[in-house]
Amino acid sequence: MSSLGRSTRRHFLAIFGATATSSILLKACAGNPPTESSAVNAPADTTPTADQPKPEVTKAKLGYIPIVEAAPLIIAQEKGFFAKYGMTEVEVSKQANWGAARDNVVIGSQGGGIDGGQWQMPMPYMISEGKITTNNQKIPMYVLLQLNTHGNGIAIAGKHKGKGLSTKIEGGGKALFAGLKSAGTKFKAAYTFPGANQELWIRYWLAANGINPDTEVELLTVPAAQTVANMKTGTMDAFSTGDPWPYRIVKDGIGFMATLTAEIWKDHPEEYLAMRQDWVDAHPIATKALLKGIMEAQQWCDDPANRPEMAKILSGKNYFNVPENILIEPLQGKYDMGEGRVIDDKSMGVLYWKDASGSVSYPYRSHDLWFLVECVRWGILPKSELANFNAQIAKINREDLWKQAAQELGVPASDIPTSTSRGIEKFFDGVEFDPENPQKYLDSLQIKKA
Ligand code: CA
């Protein structure tokens, strides 16, 4: 599978040429333990409230990947928040990897797959447009809610300690990339699924530091376990990953963390809840019931007093199946970056409901636009699509359903955004993204393909 990322053309094929073969290859790319398991739990302490509309169905099957982004889905299930709003038979289903999640949403729950769940961006757009599906089948989806911000970072192999690879890559660090290139062994950087968050974060970080990710670095799609193994043996230089991996990399002595995504773009959009349009259109009340359950879970997750219990639930055998202690520190915003740098700041850790910029949960259309524009920047999407993005977003992003659910839940008006745009976004290198003028953003970037 690692060969998929070996060249730009192959990378492009990995995105667009999703033939049966590449689909199988992607499926084999286990970013996570290969076992699929699911959990249906009876609500512990909540019962359906009488004075609310009855959902059309009580069942829904939502996929997740065992990383902290999935917490709102798992907590809504475990703490009975889905059941509280009448969704008593929700199944939260572990996906072997992102490719498997995509294949399962294509077949839907009726075919033994899923109705929706957790996604990196812009996967719901790519699936809707048939750009990453087998035979380019279009499965229209809706983006419904943002699951989290932060909780991701860039891990570097231990052999590169002390070379100035941090959020900003200082003098010696730049020489490292050039030296490896001239030695014929380019710096190798990996992620577990192409053309989405992880790849976009590592590309942004490199390019902002003056390193062209397409010419100075070898970018690869590699299963997480293999990435760690390769980092141990010294054949992998970096990978883009989510908690709890950064913590494990440092604690296991495999490497260190160059940067957290929170340092690249404070309060950035991370992963999303998206579902099949046909499911949502047929079950609008059930959709809002799911949203209310997840919103309540997000609020629960952001109460620092709940984080120890959250670590206990997420680490469980039926969910992440990891030692509880590897989750506790990252969930408290404590990161030993492994090179002497320590971050101890809750606002830099994963957040689910609110951050310093306002709502985390609300799916800003301006953020969907950034992910699509970033794909144009790197040639993952053609530049000709730039003019169509706002129309696509208007079809796929259902922030209106989020607002309705929030109002029904009794979220104070001050916590419900009044604009679909969060406005101008600022990155660590001083670059700004104005959603009103994406071309200006593309023009301002020194390193890009478009
Ligand atoms: Ca992520």
Q: With respect to residue 284, please indicate whether it lies within any of the assigned structural domains.
A: yes
The amino acid at residue 215 is T
Q: What is the dihedral of CA 273, 279, 280, 285, to 10 degrees?
A: -110
Q: What is the pLDDT of residues 6-51, one digit of tens each?
A: 334 344 333 333 333 333 333 333 233 323 334 444 444 455 555 6
**Given CA atoms 70, 71, 76, 78 in this order, what sign does their dihedral have?**
positive
312 and 301 housed in the same domain: yes
pTM above the 0.85 mark? yes
Using the predicted structure, report yes or no on whether residue 362 has a pLDDT greater than 80.
yes
Q: With respect to residue 342, please indicate whether it lies within any of the assigned structural domains.
A: no
Ligand 1 centroid to Cα of residue 272, in Å, is 10
Ligand 1 centroid to Cα of residue 242, in Å, is 5
Q: What is the pLDDT of residues 54-110, one digit of tens each?
A: 999 999 999 999 999 999 999 999 999 999 999 999 999 999 999 999 999 999 999
287 and 379 housed in the same domain: yes
Q: With respect to residue 332, please indicate whether it lies within any of the assigned structural domains.
A: no
Which domain does 43 fall in, by range?
6-21+31-149+268-323+349-419
Ligand 1 centroid to Cα of residue 150, in Å, is 8
Say which range, 84-88, 245-249, 386-390, 412-416, has the weakest mean pLDDT: 245-249
Say which range, 235-244, 419-428, 433-442, has the weakest mean pLDDT: 235-244
pLDDT at 49: 56
Ligand 1 centroid to Cα of residue 237, in Å, is 19
The secondary element (H helix, E strand) that includes residue 440 is helix 438-444
pLDDT at 15: 37
Ligand 1 centroid to Cα of residue 201, in Å, is 10
pLDDT category of residue 194 using cuts at 50, 70 and 90: very high
Considering only residues 2 and 209, tell me which one the structure prediction assigns the higher pLDDT: 209
Segment 422-429 shows an average pLDDT of: 98
Q: What is the pLDDT of residues 146-172, one digit of tens each?
A: 999 999 999 999 999 999 999 999 877
CATH of the domain at 364: 3.40.190.10
pLDDT at 53: 83
372 and 252 housed in the same domain: no
pLDDT at 41: 45
Ligand 1 centroid to Cα of residue 118, in Å, is 10
Ligand 1 centroid to Cα of residue 268, in Å, is 11
Which 3 state secondary structure label does DSSP give 96? coil
Find out whether 141 and 127 touch, Cβ atoms under 8 Å.
yes
Ligand 1 centroid to Cα of residue 63, in Å, is 15
Ligand 1 centroid to Cα of residue 197, in Å, is 6
Ligand 1 centroid to Cα of residue 99, in Å, is 14
**Given CA atoms 246, 100, 12, 430 in this order, what sign does their dihedral have?**
negative
Find out whether 28 and 146 touch, Cβ atoms under 8 Å.
no
61 and 108 housed in the same domain: yes
